[in-house]
Amino acid sequence: MDAQGRGRADNIDPADQWVLNPNTGEYELRLDPSAPQSPVPGPRRPSAPGAGGAASGRRGAPAGEERARETAPAPTVPGPRRRRGAPAEEPVPPGRRSRRPEKKKKSRTKKVLMWTGGTMAFVLVGVGTAGYLIFKHLEGNVTTTDVGSAAKSGFSKDEAFNILVIGTDKRTGKGNEGYGDKGSVGHADTNILLHVSKDRTNATALSIPRDLIVDVPDCPTKQPDGTTKVVPGTPNVRFNTSLGQDGRDPGCTMRTVKEVTGIAPDHFMMADFNAVKTLTSAVGGVEVCLKHPVNDKDSHLDLPAGSSKIEGEQALAFVRTRHSFGNHGDLDRIKVQQQFLSSLMRKMASSDTLTNPVKLYDLADAATKSLTVDTGIGKASTLKDVALELKKVPTKNITFLTVPVLDNPADGPVHKTVIVDQGQAPKVFQAIGGDVSFTDVKKKEQQAKDAQAAQLKGARSAAGEVRVRILNGGAKDGAAQETLTWLQNQQGVLKSENGSNAPQKLDKTTLEYAPDQAAQARELAALMGLPGSALKPGKSVTNSQGLPAMTLTLGKDYKGAGVSLTAPEKAPTVQGQHTADKVQCAS
């Protein structure tokens, strides 16, 4: 039974009766004993021996007893059950108002902001965990898809992470018949690779055009009967066909992102048309700005120049229109979508949203119903961890940008598709993969990176004196032998050997060395382009000749023999990039 039917006074907003329990992080219904309440029976208790209790609650009780019960004051509504081990609250005598200090109310508001702040950053990923943070029972709304090895099995709070956000054009849900391609199986219509830095000071939202020409790789896809079917890859096709086409699942879109950028998404979150409509309605509308009026007959968007508040169908029309801005293409639509998401993030970060339990509930319900995630983060506890890590990123340090592209020369005079700009895009991919911020971050974090770089400075030994065992710790098959051949034949590192597979897989390549091998470590790092963070002072190992050697373990970040793993010190500037805290007008 909810607050509207249980103990509600005429002048009390039901939302005010939902209180955040700081011990559990969940909202509970608390009714003020001093407020007018409808009689609610308390829990049954055994009658005292000899007091006639066995007859007092029977259907056939004497009329006198019934009259006594009718005139007796209504029993006090029991307070919420306290958590086991939590200190009991001081009882309030009947008929007296609680004298809790006013500062408790302020503290409660502060905790509401602390627990719900994650919803602001999490808008990029469908705000999927707001439901858990407010009402745990909403977790049943979330749909999961098993994409196998394309996604990680869990979530680490101590590492940088990448989440691929996919918006499909599948016309599911009431009122969506007029949008998307008729009969679409649900292609990857909108795609954003969200990278969150290891130190949580910044994040980068990289938009990938749907009309980008790519090579879609072979995709192992889980079938309804539990078997796995490999959907053959297709070269030279639009990126959006990486989902839905030929039965491809979101895991195939994740693999295609890695094929294009070299960055492997850890997880995916997918939303449909309803996400935009319901989320904007849940927060009471989103402010957008236009440099000129728009009246698009195709998307049914009709807005004046200047600022407007949109929600529901109008919001969906805004993010889907491609005939109202710029050159009427997908790249201009991406800019509008980024501006819209920035505005939605600001609205969700406002106190009007964060301090309103009813609005937060509506937001959580809307988000979770329109969200699909991989099984690796499908548990409520894992989604909570993701949201709490995301909320640490300041809005001013969330950068939106688009993969640098060029018109596809194969299209002829009418350009319909684009290709990766190989002169600019690799720098962007390298910066994101190297966890380099596109915004100015705190000096403390920069000092830490400078300290890592300092490890590479100092005396270096000759290449012929470097003694190292090479292990494969998560790189592609044959990586250890490939690196060994390159080091011996092209770099003169003759005292090297293949140590086969490492005991465990690593995300990042490491080089462990003893104190007296520091000069060798710096030389090998310079030859291979290893960052300072890859160097791990420790101990040496014994090689096949019984001599001390360093240990080079190739991780999942390995890109090939001779390919540098050192991230640029500063991210490149990309045309059109902007941060989420900036208000922009679509043109």
SS3 category, 387 = helix
Report whether 318 contacts 301 (CB < 8 A): yes
> Are the CB atoms for 143 and 154 separated by under 8 Å?
no
Cα(304)–Cα(211) distance, integer angstroms: 29
Task: At 166, list the tokens.
Answer: 């996919």
Residues 6+ apart with CB under 8 A from 349: 117, 120, 395
The pLDDT of 419-443, averaged and rounded, is 89
What is the residue whose two structure tokens read 């007008």? Answer: 585
Within 21-152, residue ranges assigned H as helices are: 53-56, 63-71, 103-116, 118-121, 130-134
If pLDDT is split at 50, 70 and 90, which confidence band does 54 have? very low
Average pLDDT over residues 133-137: 50
* CATH code, residues 452-554: 3.30.70
What pLDDT sits at residue 181? 52
Phi, psi angles (nearest 5°) of residue 43: -70, 145
Phi and psi at residue 400, to the nearest 5°: -100, 135
Fill in the amino acid letter for 535: L
- Phi, psi dihedrals of residue 424, rounded to the nearest 5°: -115, -40
User: What is d(CA 523, CA 356) in angstroms, rounded to the nearest whole number?
Assistant: 58
Res. 135: pLDDT tops 50:
no
* pLDDT classification of 401: cutoffs 50, 70, 90: very high
- Report the C-alpha gap between 111 and 24 in whole angstroms: 12
> Residue 153 burial by CB count (10 A; 0-12/13-18/19+): exposed, middle or buried?
exposed
CA distance 451 to 418: 41
Max mean pLDDT range (56-65, 92-101, 318-327, 349-358) = 318-327
Mean pLDDT taken over the chain: 78
Per-residue pLDDT for 579 more than 60? yes
Going along 403-537, which residue ranges are E strands? 405-407, 418-420, 467-472, 495-501, 510-513, 535-537
pLDDT, tens digit, 9 for 90 and up, residues 234-271: 999 999 999 999 999 999 999 999 999 999 999 999 98
- pLDDT higher at 32 or 146: 146
115-441 with 452-554: one CATH topology? no
212 or 413: which leads in pLDDT: 212
Q: Name the band, by pLDDT with cuts 50, 70 and 90, for residue 117.
A: very low
Looking at the predicted structure, is the pLDDT value of residue 76 above 70?
A: no
Q: Is the pLDDT of residue 403 over 70?
A: yes
| Per-residue pLDDT at 30 | 58
Q: What DSSP designation does 265 have? A: -
228-239 residue pLDDT tens: 999 999 999 999
DSSP structural state of residue 586? B
Q: What is the pLDDT of residue 126?
A: 37
pLDDT of residue 205 exceeding 90, the answer is yes
**Amino acid residing at 440:** D
pLDDT number for residue 586: 84
Higher pLDDT, 488 or 74: 488
| Residue ranges covered by each domain of the chain | 115-441, 452-554
Per-residue b/e over 436-448, b at no fewer than 16 CB within 10 Å? bbbbebeeebeee
Higher pLDDT, 22 or 492: 492
Give me the mean pLDDT over the 15-25 stretch: 56
Question: CA-CA-CA-CA torsion for 502, 505, 510, 516, nearest 10 degrees?
Answer: -40
Separation of alpha carbons 192 and 209, rounded Å = 9
Q: What does the pLDDT look like over 478-526, one tens digit per residue? A: 999 999 999 999 999 999 999 999 999 998 899 999 999 999 999 999 9
Q: Is 239:211 a contact under the CB 8 Å cutoff?
A: yes
Q: Does the pLDDT of residue 136 top 60, yes or no?
A: no
* Higher-confidence position of 85 and 509: 509
Residues facing 193 on adjacent strands: 164, 206
DSSP designation for 107: H
200: left (phi over 0), alpha (psi -120 to 50) or beta: left
pLDDT band at 472 (very low <50, low <70, confident <90, very high): very high
Helix 250-261 crosses helix 425-433 at what angle (to 10 degrees)?
Answer: 110
The two structure tokens encoding residue 417: 């598709």
Residue 417 has pLDDT above 90, yes or no: yes
The answer, yes or no, to whether residue 139 has pLDDT greater than 80, is no
Q: Would you state the pLDDT for residue 330?
A: 83
Q: Considering only residues 178 and 335, tell me which one the structure prediction assigns the higher pLDDT.
A: 335
Q: Which of 221, 571, 231, 203 minimizes the C-alpha distance to 392?
A: 203
Q: What is the number of residues in the chain? A: 587
In whole angstroms, how far apart are CA 225 and each of 9, 231, 496, 555? Answer: 54, 16, 48, 34
In this prediction, residue 183 carries a pLDDT of 56
CA angle 156–158–164, rounded 5-degree value: 50
Q: How does residue 38 score in pLDDT terms, banded at 50, 70 and 90?
A: very low
Higher pLDDT among residues 482 and 279, named by residue: 482
Q: Which two tokens stand for residue 281?
A: 């309605």
Tens of pLDDT along 294-333? 998 888 889 999 999 999 999 998 988 877 787 677 888 8
Which residues are within 8 A (CB) of 266 and not within 5 positions of it... i.e. 6 or more apart? 151, 152, 155, 161, 162, 163, 376
Model confidence band, residue 100 (pLDDT cutoffs 50, 70, 90): low
Mean pLDDT, residues 48-64:
44
* Percent of the chain whose predicted confidence (pLDDT) is above 70: 70
pLDDT at res. 358: 76
Domain 115-441 is in which class?
alpha beta
